[in-house]
Chains A and B, each alone.
Chain A
Amino acid sequence: AQKVTQTQTSISVMEKTTVTMDCVYETQDSSYFLFWYKQTASGEIVFLIRQDSYKKENATVGHYSLNFQKPKSSIGLIITATQIEDSAVYFCAMREDSAGNKLTFGIGTRVLVRP
């Protein structure tokens, strides 16, 4: 079974609107870390934002924010005021203490921002 699941294959939105994408994860650890990355058309992978499992507040960085619902094992990414350059594939990833340092990724959600 997948440990990190992104069910939305692709999303298309108009520029300057908000896009939300889902991610659910599976872990037995009491402490874990959740990350979102984006991969641009050139293949570059860029770190966006992190949520620590013990923090109740949703993380926010620039126009990225998270919707962390721990009881549902869910970590959604919200991008507000989208720009054309936000078009990319977005990956959710988890790091569990029990699994060492490695990241476990979802299979990504492709976002297209239309002008």
Chain B
Amino acid sequence: NSKVIQTPRYLVKGQGQKAKMRCIPEKGHPVVFWYQQNKNNEFKFLINFQNQEVLQQIDMTEKRFSAECPSNSPCSLEIQSSEAGDSALYLCASSLTGLGDAEQFFGPGTRLTVL
């Protein structure tokens, strides 16, 4: 079973509303990733952190997406103004290192539906 905790499991928002989801990585894993999986099973990498620092992120156009991994608090991903196209499964993953051979372990995801 996944040791990465994501809350909430389901999130329903209206267009224009904020949507915030949280992730607690597996204990001892300092590297955290966010991916978006759409209904066609396409994965899109969003951002990743090592401890509190951003390592890599996509060009989050319109700046609607923001993410952080504060010390001693869950990581979070927030969509400032949800759009219908944001409806997807948002997956958090963690790994022991940032090295290429380190497996990423996934949480159960937050399924966002934007009405």
How many angstroms between the C-alpha atoms of A31 and B100 in the bound complex? 9
B25 interfacial by beta-carbon distance below 8 Å: no
Q: Quick check: B48 and A33 within 8 Å, CB to CB? A: no
Chain A nearest CB, measured from B11 CB (Å): 14
Instruction: Tell me the dominant secondary structure on chain B's binding face.
Output: strand
Q: Quick check: B100 and A43 within 8 Å, CB to CB? A: no
How many angstroms between the C-alpha atoms of A103 and B105 in the bound complex? 12
Chain A nearest CB, measured from B110 CB (Å): 10
How many angstroms between the C-alpha atoms of A46 and B104 in the bound complex? 9
Residues of A within 8 A of B66 (CB): none
How many angstroms between the C-alpha atoms of A96 and B98 in the bound complex? 12
Residues of A within 8 A of B93 (CB): 45
A-B residue pairs in contact (CB < 8 Å), sample of 8: A33-B101, A43-B108, A44-B2, A47-B103, A50-B101, A101-B56, A102-B33, A103-B45
* Chain B contact residues, CB within 8 Å of chain A: 1-2, 31, 33, 35, 40-43, 45, 48, 55-56, 89, 91, 93, 95, 98, 100-101, 103-106, 108-109, 111
